[in-house]
A and B are shown apart, each in its own frame.
Chain A
Amino acid sequence: MEHSPKPSRHLAVEDLLRFKRHERPDDAFWAGFDHALHQRTLQSLVRFPWHHRLLHSAQQLLRPALIMPAAAAIALFTFFAAPQASIISVQTTPAVSSYSKAAFETPGPSASVQAPALAAESTPVTQTSDATLLPLRSLPVVYATDTLQSDRDHQGYQRLHASESLTAETEHLDYAASVYTVAQATYAVTPANVLY
């Protein structure tokens, strides 16, 4: 029903405006349109609690602002904190007994320690004469288990870390061995967990 102007007469504004009826999207556009409309309709029907919406809004606002600081923090941690974590300080001073004993006297999650002597035999504790920093590679397995997977693992790590302060005295060896056994039984400390 489009009005067709003849070349013999002047065009009117109405004739030119009819040209705009030819601006039409194709079928692919409508497929995308329908899909988006369905998605948005479903989203509009689902009403989350107010605190979810608030949290979501906060996340949307803060996400761009947090990307760079988070990346910087990860980079700093990677370059500074991580290398230090792979080196364990071994102290040889005898005055550490009170600290280490206190740590060991607190029973772990599974307090049933079995065969400490056997563990002591299989895992000798390294002792050094000076308070130097030893690379992780040079330490026996018991010192190298800093694979933290959870808070429980972290507790295990603290106990193992405390054992670094042990001297070569027998009683301390027993403690260290028992701690390793607990760690082995409870936290699945195996040579495979060791970070080299």
Chain B
Amino acid sequence: MHHIGAKTLASTQALTVGQADPDRALVQRVQAGDVSAFDQLVRTHRQRLYSVIYNLTANREDAADLTQDAFIKAFRSIHRFRGRSSFFTWLYRIAVNSALSHLKRNRYRQFFSFEKLDETVSQSDIVEYLCAKNQSDKPALMKELQEKLNEALQKLSLKHRTVVILHDIEGFSHQEIAQITQTTEGTVRSRLHYAKQQLQGYLKDYLD
């Protein structure tokens, strides 16, 4: 799971096993007035937070703006954060709610703007497998797969899209997703099941 930063992954694991929030010390420093500590929180969470919002919106410019919005909102209201949940759950809740509000506001005005694929993707087993199966050109296949995946995700409803992104792309647990989306774990599982059924239909050309 190289996409997720080691520190962020540690936060996730810490919450799962019920340990203290690893961001707690930094949060306390920010609450005490040390602004530089917030920079560290930004560096820790920005990549994954951006990724969640980018996959929700399929637009890199909107994703950048919304990620910044989420950090600014978090910074402005961090004095109200009491530590009842982990900081990253709180932050992701702010970000996901902002992104969903944005998508609802602009539901008839959506533009795709895809992020670049990193260099390691061409060596990925998925790409190798699909190239071998379809006898197709690797760059063309990667581009096509990227477009099809984004299209398929955008066809899902917002609540189903959110759950799939958080679980299957970002690797959050059901419990964490339930905290972020403020639902129950049962609801998360149910949404996930339905969303995967939908995606299976949209992506059947690749799943044979």
Query: Which A residues are closer than 8 A to B by beta carbons?
Result: 1-2, 4-7, 10-26, 29-30, 33-34, 36-37, 40-41, 44
Q: Is B182 an interface residue (CB 8 A)?
A: no
Query: Which B residues are closer than 8 A to A by beta carbons?
Result: 1-3, 42, 46-47, 50-51, 54-55, 60, 64, 67-68, 71-72, 75-76, 114-118, 120-121, 124-130, 132-133, 145-146, 149-150, 164, 168-169, 196, 199-200, 203, 206-208
- Known contacts A4-B125, A18-B168; decide if A23 and B68 are in contact (CB<8 Å): no
- Known contacts A30-B46, A33-B68; decide if A16 and B116 are in contact (CB<8 Å): no
Interface majority SS (helix, strand, loop, mixed), chain B:
helix
- Which of A5, A17, A22, A41 sits near B118, CB closer than 8 Å? A22
| Measured CA separation A31–B206 after assembly (Å) | 36
- Which of A4, A13, A29, A33 sits near B196, CB closer than 8 Å? A13
Question: What distance in Å separates the Cβ of A42 from its nearest Cβ neighbour in chain B?
Answer: 10
Say whether B133 contacts A18, CB under 8 Å: no
Question: What distance in Å separates the Cβ of B112 from its nearest Cβ neighbour in chain A?
Answer: 12
Say whether B133 contacts A7, CB under 8 Å: yes
Say whether B116 contacts A19, CB under 8 Å: no
- Known contacts A2-B2, A16-B149; decide if A23 and B168 are in contact (CB<8 Å): no
| Measured CA separation A140–B164 after assembly (Å) | 86
Please name all residues of chain A whose beta carbon is closer than 8 Å to the beta carbon of B129 when the two chains form the complex.
5-7, 11
Please name all residues of chain B whose beta carbon is closer than 8 Å to the beta carbon of A14 when the two chains form the complex.
168, 196
| Measured CA separation A139–B130 after assembly (Å) | 89
Say whether B72 contacts A37, CB under 8 Å: yes
